Amino acid sequence: MNDKLYIHEFIDIIGQNRAKYMHHMTANFSPMAQEDRDQKCYGVWGVVGSTRRWPEVVNIWEEDGFDGMASSFRHEFNHPTLQDPKLAKWWAEAAKLRSSGTDRLLVPAPWTRTIDELCTDGVTGEVYAHDQITVPRGGSSSFLDAVRDVAIDAHKSFGWELAGAWETAMVDDSECFLLWAIPTWEQWGELEKAQRKEPALGQWRDRSRELSRSLCRFLLVDSPLCPFRTGRQPSRADQIEEWEE
């Protein structure tokens, strides 16, 4: 039973700072977030620019449900600057690397795995497919049920493994996200080529279209310290220097 809550972030990167930003998030921010907020790094990825806006990074953080999120919000925003003063140095450096971002809170399907469970199971990929789906208001739960019942098996024969399935909070149940771990680039290509040929994929496409208004898929590559790559949470040992004030 996954009762966590997730922060999903699209981050716009300034110039050629994507690698620096991903390291700054994983090595420099995440260890402090784990200690101060019990917030875990679910994953940090670079967006494959040919499939979506670029240069861009996707961050996902795992909180201990809405109660944990409330505590994190208090820790972050109950200051005159609306920022944790302890992170002033970190924020100043981050501002040099990114220009803006779009965040949302995600509620996991209860049958999905937490990041600790995914690491224990060795879930990883050379590439990841991330699906952003809009559904009619109130339709997110039905869509995720169909993912469990139809989509997982349809993708399994191509080696794709469902790593995450979420519905966006506070939008009247009208948006979902999926994350697929794909062992190789070739296995990504094989599934895409088979979309209109393989019966199980066709069944999923038809079911998805019945339940959704649009689906946008883009590709991600995990950062060097992403838990999906390392099998662990980033630690202070990964830092080049301390970032606390």
User: 51-97, pLDDT tens digit by residue?
Assistant: 999 999 999 999 999 999 999 999 989 988 888 888 889 899 999 99
CATH topology of domain 5-105: Alpha-Beta Plaits (3.30.70)
Q: Residues of CATH 3.30.70.100 domain(s) within the chain?
A: 5-105, 115-222
pTM score: 0.96
pLDDT above 80: residue 241: no
pLDDT above 90: residue 243: no
Q: What is the rounded average pLDDT of the residues 204-208?
A: 97
pLDDT at position 240? 78
Contact between 163 and 228 (Cβ < 8 Å): yes
Domain 115-222 has CATH 3.30.70.100: yes
Read off the tokens for 221: 């590559």
User: 152-171, pLDDT tens digit by residue?
Assistant: 999 999 999 999 999 999 99
CA distance 16 to 27: 19
Which whole-number Å values give the CA distances from 135 to 102, 142, 207, 238, in the listed order? 19, 9, 12, 40
pLDDT at position 67? 97
User: 171-189, pLDDT tens digit by residue?
Assistant: 999 999 999 999 999 999 9
Q: Is the peptide bond before 55 cis (omega within 30 degrees of 0)?
A: yes
pLDDT at position 198? 96
**CA nearest 140: which of 179, 100, 168?**
168
Mean pLDDT of the chain: 96
Q: Tell me the angle at which helices 30-37 and 65-77 cross, rounded to the nearest 10 degrees.
A: 110
CA distance 145 to 163: 15
DSSP 150: I
Q: How do the residues of the chain divide into helix, strand and coil, expressed in percent and rounded to 5?
A: 40, 30, 30
